Chain A
Amino acid sequence: MAQFSDNIDNLEHWQTNRRQVIKAAILTGTLSQLSFLQACTANQLTEEGNDLLDANQVGILKSVMEILFPNDGNGPGIDDLHAFEYIMWVLHDTGSYEKYRNLAIEGITWADEQTQKNQQKNYLELSQAEREQAVAHFNETDYGTEWLSIILTYILEALLLDPIYGGNPDGIGWKWLNHTPGYPQATEELRYENILKTVRAAYPKTES
């Protein structure tokens, strides 16, 4: 859907229609990561929520991500890695495993329900220490561990996949872990959403 990125010039129109446009792009399978990131800056996602998560869910997810991979002075944190934007892209990416995407989102609501039940407070009403306790508690249940584990894997992708996917800016994650990336690296034409199109465009012409 080419007009999607054309439309971003018209910011006002785009903002009101953003959710529908993203949804339409997902349904037609045309949402590339570039257009997704153009459509959503992290700040807007945090304040308003988006087509998948409301503002409360966004707040919970960001908080849990920071507890799973804290900015503790040892290497990059979530913001350094652009991990939240990366996760929002994965949650929209129909090529990623659907069951995990759904679980990642459902888990957020589950987490809120857990603190409402156990602490009689919404998750976002908890103090930082209470949030950390709550996450430790989630990790004592099978469901909670599975949910946290999926979020942590997405964070690791933002730490270690090629920067072309939106995380790991300037190879910050690789540098932290003394990792030497392989050559040749990913390119726009060969990134995962485009590679098959590129490959098929290069086929020799036959009369089949």
Chain B
Amino acid sequence: MKYDVCIIGSGAGAGPVIYELAQAGFNVLVLEKGPWFKTEHFTKDDMVATRRAIYTPAFKDEFHVLETKDADGNWKAVPTHESRTDFWNGSAVGGSSNFMSAYFHRLKPNDFRLLSEYGNIQDGNMVDWPITYNDLEPYYTKVEHVVGVSGAVVPHKHLEPRSTPDYPFPPLVTNRISDWFTAAGAKKGYNVIPAARGIISLPKGDRNACYLSNYCGSFGCSSDGKSSSRAALINDALKTGNVEIRPDSKVFHLETNEKNEIIKAWYYDLAGLKNSVEATLFVVAAQAVETSRLLLMSKNPSSPNGLANNAGNVGKNLIFSAVATGSGFIHFDDFPAEKIAEINNPMTFVNRTLVDFYEIDDSQSGKKIKGGIIDFLIEHSNPMPKAVKNKKDGDRLVYGSEFKTKLHTYFTTRKKVRFEAFTDWIPNDNCYVTLDPEQKDKWGDPVARIRLGYHESNKIPGEFLAGISKEILTEMGARDVSGAVSTGPTVNLQAGGCRFGNDPKTTVLTKDCRAHEVPNLYVTDGSFMPTGGSVPYTFTIYANAFRVAEKIIDQLKSKL
């Protein structure tokens, strides 16, 4: 059987395409490497979610090789099974969107024009996007309604233009500590506002509303309140009868004909056997790193350096989010009992953000530069990560009665308040994906080798936002406030590697996210993004995938 479209991956980049094509009556095959968890299979079991490789591949089966700079400035490559730096996020039907925290921010109009607005940065590869905010706006709105986003729009100086006045789902219930963040911000002159989440606060179709389990990020959702690709899109798409999902199916090669059209996707099934499928169009959405890897692995006579890579751009300009994080502690004995009673409960949602500094005046250069956002949070519920952190005091291992007292004090007498500031990860020539020349996965295929070049200029807005965040935590009355820029990659927030643009010499994809070189290949995860914006990516990945789904439908219709 020849399918109309074969989609590789089933996460946030794939879901909208699966949904739209199924609704339009095309027959869709989804090849997903991971297993197919249903909602009833998710529990709040830390062992499954964070202590063992269940939602992600085991290191012994699949891993990455990471290149980082050593103390002498030389690039050093280390496999993740040695460093224990897990570079997987979620391998399952629905991808990592099952396990996300779902902070959803739209990009702003200036994010589409970073080069024009702010100029290039030395050793950075800043560019403008081939589309504008206005081109994407209708699809953000569509995500809010179809996938489900909750929140409250309030006016602020960087509010992006919207075609609808508000989010379709009202804000989620939060811990009262949210008000503390807002009040502390106001005292310092900062506008701390509600943050939107890709989580529904009211039932929608077969999905129940969020039930405030307080185990959200890293855990699957048991009410379908979280707007994962599986809960929000794939389940509805299946009802059309036009979608077939093949879980445990790892695609390793896309075979082309002499016209450089893909004719078959080759995959390993659970038993490790090789299978192939035929389709008219192919869509790759395996998350940025694995998408580039699959294209690079797909060497054909018409594409000897990998699919869509005759111009040599696949894997280049990989981006993450540049972040600064920090925390402080609200000690219960610093406040009146009734104040503490407000906040000392299991509720972990805060949903407060500060967007005042999306653009900042750089005191050093005297110019306007791109800033970012700050999300305010409290510590996650699951106890293992908290407990493990308490083992160390600097480099010293704490144990015995001293450790037990420390642990008990940490859990029972304070609340950790946190911030995460997001800024642009400046694309650069030292951040890219290639195939490792030696290391192989369990099927014998080369693993992705990722060079993790960090641009020093990322630190400028990061440090600025960390400073503001610390002021707010201190104003709230938190003790031991600290925070800093992190120069490592955000493993869960990946984009780039197959830039879209108008020039086939410098970009992999057209502005419609079709490969310049391969007429029946689309890429719909975050790989297309030439720059990332100062927000987490998933809202934009969803929106763009809805946009591209329309182009795919047009192309399929024109072939009929």
- Give chain A's interface residues, CB within 8 Å of chain B: 67-70, 72, 74-75, 95-98, 135, 139, 145, 148-149, 152-153, 156-157, 159-162, 164-165, 174, 176-187, 190-192, 195-196, 198-200, 202-203, 206, 208
Contacts and interface: CB of A to CB of B under 8 A. Distances in A.
A interface, by DSSP: helix, strand, loop or mixed? loop
Contacts of B46: 160-162
Contacts of A190: 41, 43, 45, 48
B384 A176 contact: no
B403 A69 contact: yes
Interface of B: 35-38, 41-48, 51-54, 58-60, 84, 213-215, 219, 222, 244, 246-248, 270, 275, 346, 381-384, 387-388, 391, 396-397, 399-401, 403-405, 407-408, 411-412
A187 B222 CA distance: 14
B interface, by DSSP: helix, strand, loop or mixed? loop
Given A152-B391, A152-B403, 14 more contacts: A67-B400, A74-B408, A96-B52, A157-B51, A177-B411, A178-B411, A179-B383, A182-B213, A182-B219, A182-B381, A184-B43, A184-B44, A191-B47, A195-B48
Given A75-B404, A177-B408, A161 B47 contact: yes
Given A190-B48, A192-B45, A199 B37 contact: yes
A3 to B, nearest CB: 26
9 contacts: A139-B396, A156-B388, A162-B46, A162-B47, A177-B412, A182-B213, A185-B44, A192-B52, A200-B35
Contacts of B388: 153, 156
A56 B454 CA distance: 50
Contacts of B383: 160, 174, 177, 179
B43 A157 contact: no
Nearest to B222: A184
Given A161-B46, A182-B213, A195 B404 contact: no
A181 B46 CA distance: 10
A132 B51 CA distance: 30
Contacts of A184: 42-44, 222
B382 A182 contact: yes
B408 A176 contact: yes
A152 B407 contact: no
Contacts of A95: 52-53, 58
A69 B43 contact: no
A69 B399 CA distance: 7
Contacts of A162: 45-47
Contacts of A191: 45, 47-48
A152 B408 contact: no
A165 B214 contact: no
Contacts of A180: 214, 346, 381
A68 B401 contact: no
Contacts of A96: 52
Contacts of A182: 43-44, 213-215, 219, 381-382
A152 B399 contact: yes
